[in-house]
Amino acid sequence: MRLTLLEILGATGGGQIGGTHVGNVFSTFHTDSREVVHGGVFFALKGAEMDGHDFIPDAIKRGAGLLIVERKMESAPGVGQVLVENAWDALFALAAFTRDKVRPLVVAVTGSNGKTSTKEMVAAALGRRYNVLRTSGNLNTETGVPLTMLSLEPEHTALVLEMGMQRPGDIGRLVELAQPSIGIITNIGIVHIEFFASQDELAASKGELVKGLPESGLAVLNADDKYFEALSGMTPAGIASFGFTAGDYRAENYRAAPEGGSTFSVRGNEVRLGLEGRHQALNALAALAAADFAGVPLEVGAESLSEVAVDHRLQEIKAPAGFVVVDDAYNASPESMLAAFAAMSDRPRGGRLLAVLGEMRELGGLADESHRVVGMHAAKVFDAVCVLDGERARILAEAAGAEIVPNRAEAVLWVRRNAQEGDRVLIKGSHGVRLDEVVKELTR
């Protein structure tokens, strides 16, 4: 969004310190000095470990045109400063100002798994009627959501936001900022549970999304999830449910396609997905329910989903040696691990199924049992498994009957020794394990 300095001052309640004229216009906004572009606005945010004010020299070096600061800083000629009481509040206030200026339909997506895929499918379905801005990549945090909102332009008529969470209150604050009229909760798992007293508390925190919806809005909820009733009771909005066994939008006649993806029907409409797995069918149902409420007919929304692709989500890449690498290395939780295993086993197979797995993180007291359960399932699905060594990895490996390798380079060598032409090799682990480097090496 192109905003004048006068608008920035008005929205943030800040005071100007030299540098630029009130009519000057700014169109890019940054919280990381490394991403600043010429003429951009840099917010000096204070975090638990770092203070953005320490990075102002780097922001100026990279061409910042305006600084949002909590104390007067040394600057450079032509670089203005806006002095505010709290830079976080200023970021949120400016994002809210932009939202009110454009007034798009806002759809928010959260859940333990499937947020990004669902967000992409919502954007695709709404795109048949709306000019859509959606969260880029995984910008779903307390900085990513307001920065996405600051990318709104006057021509945008819909905004699709992914909302991530680590601690209680995270979702509520983002909902207050974005003011969605449609909220989707894909499921309630145990990822990030180390930050919560129980799964019930985690569910209540995810439920802050539907709790914050208006009465005229819509909560889209998973009827197959054990927290469906609890979440339904939290919202003043209308409810649309989805699932395989129950729901207003139900997947029927599901089939894994031999060439990848799946087909199923919902309310008599055929849906073809390029994305792998039954879990993606559930995500598609949620997206279709949201789009239906927003005025996109079910049959039109369904047509839009076949071309949706999401990097690093069971993405198949042919390796030079002839085997197929199934890249799901972006992240991992018990639920997403089991969903990936199911997707691998559902598809008609030619060669063998192999897996390179890494540990799952942020599971708190449930970590040992979760790794044991995932390992037991891996043993049933795969012909051979290797596990990258780590704190909980040995539990997973023992349950899976897997070979443990000490590092990513050895994981690559394991695949090259074991995988043959026609085999499919799943690569999956928590983001911090960096199994994406294994994918890159195998497919170069």
SS3 annotation, the chain: CCEEHHHHHHHHCCEEECCCCCCCEECCEECCHHHCCCCCEEECCECCCCEHHHHHHHHHHCCCCEEEECCCCCCCCCCEEEECCCHHHHHHHHHHHHHHHHCCEEEEEECCCCHHHHHHHHHHHHCCCCCEEECCCCCCCCCHHHHHHCCCCCCCCEEEEECCCCCCCHHHHHHHHHCCCEEEECCCCCCCHHHCCCHHHHHHHHCHHHHCCCCCCEEEEECCCCCHHHHHCCCCCEEEEEECCCCCEECEEEEECCCCCEEEEECCEEEEECCCCHHHHHHHHHHHHHHHHCCCCHHHHHHCCCCCCCCCCCEEEECCCCCEEEECCCCCCHHHHHHHHHHHHHCCCCCCEEEEECCCCCCHHHHHHHHHHHHHHHHHHCCEEEEECCCCHHHHHHHHCCEEECCHHHHHHHHHHHCCCCCEEEEECCHHHCCHHHHHHHHC
Residue 283, in any domain of the structure: yes
| 124 and 65 share one domain | no
| 71 and 132 share one domain | no
| 277 and 328 share one domain | no
Structure-block tokens of residue 98: 């932009």
Residue listed under structure tokens 């983002």: 174
Residue 135, in any domain of the structure: yes
| 361 and 398 share one domain | yes
Structure-block tokens of residue 360: 């799952």
| 206 and 349 share one domain | no
> pLDDT tens track of the chain, all 444 residues?
999 999 999 999 999 988 778 889 999 999 999 999 999 999 999 998 899 999 999 999 999 999 999 999 988 888 999 999 999 999 999 999 999 999 999 999 999 999 999 999 999 999 999 999 999 987 899 999 999 999 999 999 999 999 999 889 999 999 999 999 999 999 999 988 888 989 999 999 999 999 999 999 999 999 999 999 999 999 999 999 999 999 999 999 999 998 889 999 999 999 999 999 999 999 999 999 999 999 999 999 999 999 999 988 899 999 999 999 999 999 999 999 999 999 999 988 889 999 999 999 999 999 999 999 999 999 999 999 999 998 899 999 999 999 999 999 999 999 999 999 999 999 999 999 999 999 999 999
Residue 376, in any domain of the structure: yes
Residue 321's pLDDT is: 92
CB-based burial label for 312 (10 Å; 0-12, 13-18, 19+): middle
Question: Cα–Cα distance between 313 and 275 in angstroms, integer?
Answer: 8
Q: Is there a contact between 56 and 45 (Cβ–Cβ < 8 Å)?
A: no
Residue 95, in any domain of the structure: no
Question: Cα–Cα distance between 120 and 122 in angstroms, integer?
Answer: 6
Residue 233's pLDDT is: 98
Residue 92, in any domain of the structure: no
Residue 398's pLDDT is: 97
| 343 and 395 share one domain | yes
Q: Which residues pair with 427 in a beta bridge?
A: 327, 356
Domain residues for the domain of 27 are: 3-84
Residue 22's pLDDT is: 84
Q: 256-263 long-range CB contacts below 8 Å, 24 or more apart?
A: 256/343, 256/346, 256/347, 256/348, 257/347, 258/347, 258/348, 260/316, 260/347
| 297 and 326 share one domain | no
Query: What letters, b where the CB count within 10 A reaches 16 and e where it falls short, cover 71-83?
Result: eebebeeebbbbb
Cα of first residue to Cα of last residue in the chain, in angstroms, is: 39
Give the CA count within 13 Å in the CB-facing half-sphere of 274.
Answer: 14
pTM above threshold 0.75: yes
Residue 193's pLDDT is: 87
Domain closes at, from 28, 57, 84: 84
| 43 and 121 share one domain | no
| 279 and 163 share one domain | yes
Which residue in 418, 423, 301 sits closest to 350, CA to CA? 423
| 320 and 436 share one domain | yes
Residue 427, in any domain of the structure: yes
User: Which CATH number goes with the domain that contains 354?
Assistant: 3.90.190.20
| 39 and 138 share one domain | no
| 337 and 286 share one domain | no
- The number of distinct structural domains making up the chain is 3
Q: Is there a contact between 43 and 91 (Cβ–Cβ < 8 Å)?
A: yes
Chain center to CA of 138? 5
